[in-house]
Chains A and B, each alone.
Chain A
Amino acid sequence: MDKPTIILATSNGIGMGHLTRASAIASELKEFSNPIIVSMAAGVVEVPKIAGVRFEYIPGRDRNWMGRFQWDSYLRDRLVALIDETDAKIVSFDGVVPYPGIIAIKSKRPEVKLVWVRRGFWQKTPQKYLLALQSRMMDLIITPGDFGQSYDNGPTSKRKDSVLVKPISIFDSKSILSRELARAELGLDKNRPACLVQLGIGEADLNSKLTAALSGLIGWKDLQVVLTKEPIDSNGKNLAPVGLDIKIIRYFPLQKHLMLLMLRFVLQGITVCTKNLLQGFQLCLFQMLEGLIINQIEQNGLSIMKWH
């Protein structure tokens, strides 16, 4: 008997959180089904590397290829066409809020099960007023766990309509490279300390935070500072202070190199690094979080950094 198809759709978030989560789930689904990832994130091109499954890119609404209402219909029609093509039994959506085009699948193909992977840490924005409606339209809601879960006081935290699972990560201890191999592959000196600074670039406030974080690293003997993006603003101005040896690594996913686990604390859209971070690899990852979250982590005796 053919394996059933499961479509994993993701929105286009600030980072790679939704897509990474969908990829991690897809990897686990392969044993008994044919997962297909459809995403509005440009990072979808990396899916074969992470999950090794078929995928499609769907333009997000923000691309302005069409009007807003046309986009809703376009999204619905594309997903319905893919359901018909693959005889999919489940459509799972990982995104902050399911678009009307996602919910409308039900009106066209009521036999298909709709799942919402709804992460917590919602902010108290007007979006919360549609939460009950959106949740009711789903066959199932899954909440991916978070280390700060018990401190989530957002609109979803009191709801009883979802299944809570442990944190989802693409980290796989079996695929970890040794420190030597990882460094060789990334082109880093094998003896000098290295520090990965992975902060957002784009908005003015993010840019100044990156500069501040990098400034704190000046004076660290022999340090290699690793960034995943060029530290330049929209006008081409360099955000990195003088006196640092900066290396840009464009590689995704970095997990097998860094023995790195990442989860999203979506309250701020900022990545928190967790257990096994940077094991076997002398890198450090510096993250800025809202004080509240850090305090919560502290209370749990956890750390946001790990060195070896």
Chain B
Amino acid sequence: MALTVDQNNLKDIEDNAKKLQDEVLREKLSRNCNNLPSTTGGSEVAEIFKKLLAVPTKTGISLPITLISLKIRDIFARGFKGFVYSLLQLLTVVYRWIKPHNRGKVSYSDKLEIYENEESDVLQKLIKSGKPFEHLIVNASPAYKSRRIEIASKAYLK
């Protein structure tokens, strides 16, 4: 068993939290946790990646061709529903083309700051400051640094 809470009902949340003061209930809840399966997904993914490294790369993935083939399938192979969906999608694209989402004011920077370390305190401050900066992996090559400066300059320098 588990405690069930309707998260839109504040009274329900409070009442259920109150139930936790009961030691017997806590024990009961606690015992049920032992029935859960293991969480070994990380090592499974690592094994999958190991095998993937040895497999040839999928070639011929082309965004425009894939998009067109999916569109054709949507329109002709999914009946009336597919056709209506496609029409709605098209209308949405046209609408957003004319009236894009409001993305807020972009604040371009006039200087480029680079940080090449992993000290969490310093990095945390930089992230919180809101001012643009470039974070580089440690031991980066000069060629990489210069490429990163180029990319950042193009993207957000005034």
Q: Give the docked Cα–Cα distance between A263 and B123 (Å).
A: 27
Known: A217-B21, A288-B7; 5 extra A-B contacts, CB below 8 A, are A275-B33, A275-B34, A302-B32, A307-B27, A307-B30
Task: Please name all residues of chain A whose beta carbon is closer than 8 Å to the beta carbon of B143 when the two chains form the complex.
Answer: 85
Task: Please name all residues of chain A whose beta carbon is closer than 8 Å to the beta carbon of B92 when the two chains form the complex.
Answer: 126
Task: Please name all residues of chain B whose beta carbon is closer than 8 Å to the beta carbon of A90 when the two chains form the complex.
Answer: 49, 52-53
A171-B39 in contact (CB<8A): yes
Contact A213 to B14, CB < 8 A, known contacts A28-B45, A268-B7: yes
Who on chain B is nearest to A54 by CB? Answer: B137
Count of CB-CB pairs between chains A and B under 8 Å: 279
A-contact 0/1 string along B15-35, CB 8 Å cutoff? 111111101001111111111
Q: List 29 A-B contacts (CB under 8 A).
A: A28-B42, A33-B50, A45-B118, A45-B124, A48-B120, A54-B137, A64-B106, A71-B155, A73-B154, A74-B152, A74-B154, A85-B141, A90-B53, A113-B55, A136-B70, A139-B58, A163-B48, A165-B44, A168-B45, A195-B20, A211-B10, A212-B14, A213-B17, A274-B33, A274-B36, A275-B33, A286-B17, A291-B4, A306-B30
Task: Please name all residues of chain A whose beta carbon is closer than 8 Å to the beta carbon of B10 when the two chains form the complex.
Answer: 208-209, 211-212
Residue A290 at the B interface, CB < 8 A?
Answer: yes
Tell me the dominant secondary structure on chain A's binding face. mixed
A64-B13 in contact (CB<8A): no
Contact of A65 among B16, B34, B107 (CB under 8 A): B107
Q: Give the docked Cα–Cα distance between A166 and B48 (Å).
A: 13
A56-B135 in contact (CB<8A): yes
Q: Give the docked Cα–Cα distance between A92 and B52 (Å).
A: 12
A107-B103 in contact (CB<8A): no
**Looking at chain A, what size class is its interface with the partner chain?**
35 or more
Q: Give the docked Cα–Cα distance between A269 and B142 (Å).
A: 41
Contact of B46 among A28, A48, A220, A295 (CB under 8 A): A28
Task: Please name all residues of chain A whose beta carbon is closer than 8 Å to the beta carbon of B89 when the two chains form the complex.
Answer: 129
Tell me the dominant secondary structure on chain B's binding face. helix
Task: Please name all residues of chain A whose beta carbon is closer than 8 Å to the beta carbon of B33 when the two chains form the complex.
Answer: 274-277, 302-303, 305-306
Who on chain A is nearest to B120 by CB? Answer: A45
Residue A284 at the B interface, CB < 8 A?
Answer: yes
Contact of B39 among A78, A137, A166 (CB under 8 A): A166
A64-B105 in contact (CB<8A): yes
Q: Give the docked Cα–Cα distance between A126 and B86 (Å).
A: 12
